[in-house]
Amino acid sequence: MNSKKVIFIINLLQDVNILRPLIYMASQDLNHPTELIVTNGFCNRDTDQKWRNEISKIVADTKSLVFWVKDDFDGYKALEGKAGMVFAASESDLSAHAPTHNLFKMAPSGLVKVTLQHGFECVGFMQSKQHIIAHGENITFGADVVCGWSELEYLTSMAETQKNKLLITGPTSAIQVPKKAAMKHYGVICENLHSVRLSASGDLKVGFMEMFQNFCVQLNKRKARVVLRPHPGGQYVLKHNVEIPSNVELNNEPMYKVDLSQYAYGVSAPSSVLIDMILANIPVAVWSDDDGIMDIGNYRGLAQVSNVQDLLEFTQDASRNPGKYIERQHAFLKRSGLKTDPKFVYQQYRSLIESGTKVTSLPSLDTELAEHVERVMFVANDYIPTLQLSFIKPLEELFENGSVVSDLITEKYLKEMFPKSMSGALACQALQSKLEKFKPTIIVFCRYSGPNAVFIRLWAKQHNIPVIFHIDDDLLHVPISLGQAKFKAHNSPNRLKTVRYLLDNSDLVYCSTKPLADRFRFLGVQSPIHIADLYCSGELIVPAVNKAITKIGYMGFDHADDL
C-alpha cells in the first residue's frame, strides 16, 4: 500500500481547470492515490454547483478521495500525518489566496508543497501595472516548488527570495486537449471584467461592454452571430445580469471542454485565454481602452482593438487573412519564452510527481507476514444481528486461529464522534486513518446505508481492495408494514442513495436468498451478484420430536403490523 499521496487543493473555481490534467496524470498515468481538498470558499463561489459536478466527474475517473473542508482546521486535519505532494493552483501571501497559503504553512514536513503559475500575467510571476497597483510587489509563496511557465528572465515579478524555488514546467493547459468540435464561422469574445486590470486604474468595464454591445448591433445588421465567453471565476455578465443581445451565443463551459480552434477569431482584454486562443491557431486581438490606461505591455506584438470600429476591421480582416495574424502570434510566443510543447510540459510535471512520491523504504517483515492473513474491515450501521449471524459467528474459528482478523466501522461510531457532520472532512480523515492503519485486504459493507460509503469505496479502489456488499432485504423498498419508524428511516433519500450506490459499485453483491437476487437483477443492479448455497447456518440445539405442543412467538420493536 503506497503511503505517498498526491493532494490537490481547490479554492477558486478556475483551480479545477488548472489542476485537472495533473489529477489525471497522478492517478491514471502514475497510479498514485489522489486526494482533493475543496475549500468552503470554492463551495460558496460555485452557486449553481456546476463546478462541483465537474469535480464529481474527475472523482469518477480518477478514484480521488474528496475532503470538503469548512475552515483551516479541517484542512489541517485532512493533511495531518500524510506524505507525498500537495499542489495548489492559486497560492500566495495575498488575502484572496489565504486558504491555500495557510494550509501550506500548516502542512506536515512529509509533503512537498507545489504552487502553479495560473495565468500568463500572474501575481508573483509576471504582473501588469494594474496588478502592482492592486496587490503590490514582492509577493511570496508558501510552497517548496513554484512551477513557472517560462525561464526566470521572463518572470519579471518574481521576488528574489522565491527564485530558488522555480521549476520551469509550462502551463498545464498544454497537456489538456479538448475534443474537436464542428467548425463554426463566427468568432468568440471573452470577458474577464472582474479582473483588477479593468478596475485598479479606474472603471474600464463600461468601455468594454459598450464596444461589445455596439459590435453586436453591427453584426445583427448582417445577420451574423458571435460567441460570448464569461471568465470561469469572474462570471461578470451573469452575476450582474447584463442583457445579452439576441445574436450572441453564451459559452460557459470549462475550457477543457471548449475547442477554440472552431472559431474564426478571438478577442479578450488581457487574460490567459489569449494564450489559449493563440495555441488554438486562430487570429487573436487584445482589447485595451481608447485612452491606453490599461497596461497591455506583456501582450505587445498582438493585434489590438479599443473600439467598435477597430473590432469590426479586425474581425473582417482576420476572416479574410488569418495567416498573417497567426504568423504574428507565433512570433509573439517565441518572444514570450512560454514553454508550450505538450511533450516537454508533460514530462516536467511527471518527473516532478515521480520525484516527490518516490518510496525509498522496503516493506518490513511484519508487512510481508501480514500478507498471509485475511484482514476484513466490516462496515455496518451498528453491531447489528445480521453482521453477527452472517459473518462474526460463521468466521469464529478463523478469528481464533489467526488466519482472519477484522475491524468494524459503524454509523453509530461516526454519529458519536462527529455529531455535527458525519460526512465532513474530519470524519473522512478519521475513516482514512482507520483504514490505512488496519490495512484491510477486503471490505464488507453489511446492510449499510449510512454516510461516507462513496469515500470508503473510493479508498478501496485506490488501494485495489475488493468490496462486498452483503444484503438480506430489499432495502430499496422497505414497506410501511414494518412500522412507521423503520419505514421512515430506511426510505430517507440519503439511505436509498447509499444502498443503490453500493449495489451498483461493489465488486460483489452477496444476497441472502435467490428471490432477493432475482429482485435486484430485475432492478438493474450493475454489480455481480452471488447467492450462498447455505446462509446463516447454526448448530443443532434441540432435536426435532413429534409431539403435541403449541407455541406462539412474537418479536417486538416496530412489528405491530405482524402481530
Q: pLDDT (tens digit, 9 = 90+) per residue, 6-28?
A: 999 999 999 999 999 999 999 99
Q: What is the reported pLDDT for 362?
A: 46
Helix (H) or strand (E) holding 451: none
Grid-cell match 405442543, residue found? 549
Predicted confidence (pLDDT) at residue 2 exceeds the cutoff of 70:
no
- Using CA atoms in the order 435, 418, 384, 481, what is the torsion angle rounded to 10 degrees? -130
Q: Percent of the chain at pLDDT above 70?
A: 95
| pLDDT band per the 50, 70, 90 thresholds, residue 553 | confident
Question: Residues spanned by CATH 3.40.50.11720 within the chain?
Answer: 4-171+343-356
Q: What is the reported pLDDT for 369?
A: 43
| pLDDT band per the 50, 70, 90 thresholds, residue 557 | low
CB-based contacts of 467, cutoff 8 Å, min separation 6: 442, 443, 444, 445, 457, 460, 505, 506, 507, 508
Mean pLDDT, the chain, rounded, equals 90
Q: What does CATH list as the number for 188-337?
A: 3.40.50.2000
Question: Residues spanned by CATH 3.40.50.2000 within the chain?
Answer: 188-337, 365-531
User: For 349-381, how does the pLDDT look when each residue is reduced to its tens digit (9 = 90+)?
Assistant: 999 999 999 876 544 444 444 557 999 999 999
Predicted confidence (pLDDT) at residue 415 exceeds the cutoff of 90:
yes
User: For 491-500, how does the pLDDT look when each residue is reduced to its tens digit (9 = 90+)?
Assistant: 899 999 999 9
Residues in the chain: 563
Q: How many CA atoms lie within 13 A of 369 on its CB side?
A: 4
Give me the sheet containing 303-305, strands edge to edge. 248-250, 226-230, 188-191, 266-268, 284-287, 303-305
- The stretch 549-553 carries a mean pLDDT of 81
365-531, which class in CATH? Answer: alpha beta
- The stretch 110-135 carries a mean pLDDT of 91
Q: What is the reported pLDDT for 318?
A: 93
Q: Using an 8 Å Cβ cutoff, are 41 and 56 in contact?
A: no
Helix (H) or strand (E) holding 457: helix 453-462
Q: Using an 8 Å Cβ cutoff, are 294 and 269 in contact?
A: yes
User: For 269-305, how does the pLDDT look when each residue is reduced to its tens digit (9 = 90+)?
Assistant: 899 999 999 999 999 999 998 888 888 889 999 999 9
Q: What is the reported pLDDT for 365?
A: 40
Q: Under CATH, which architecture does the 4-171+343-356 domain have?
A: 3-Layer(aba) Sandwich (3.40)
| Cα(22)–Cα(42) distance, integer angstroms | 19
Cα distances from 332 to residues 342, 448, 482, in angstroms, run: 18, 59, 73
User: For 439-479, how does the pLDDT look when each residue is reduced to its tens digit (9 = 90+)?
Assistant: 999 999 999 999 999 999 999 999 999 999 999 999 999 88
List the single range of 23-37, 49-63, 207-221, 528-542 with lowest mean pLDDT: 528-542
For the whole model, what pTM was predicted?
Answer: 0.86
CB-based contacts of 49, cutoff 8 Å, min separation 6: none
Predicted confidence (pLDDT) at residue 559 exceeds the cutoff of 60:
no
HEC profile of 91-108: CCCCHHHHHHHHHHHHCC
Predicted confidence (pLDDT) at residue 205 exceeds the cutoff of 70:
yes
Q: Using an 8 Å Cβ cutoff, are 7 and 80 in contact?
A: no
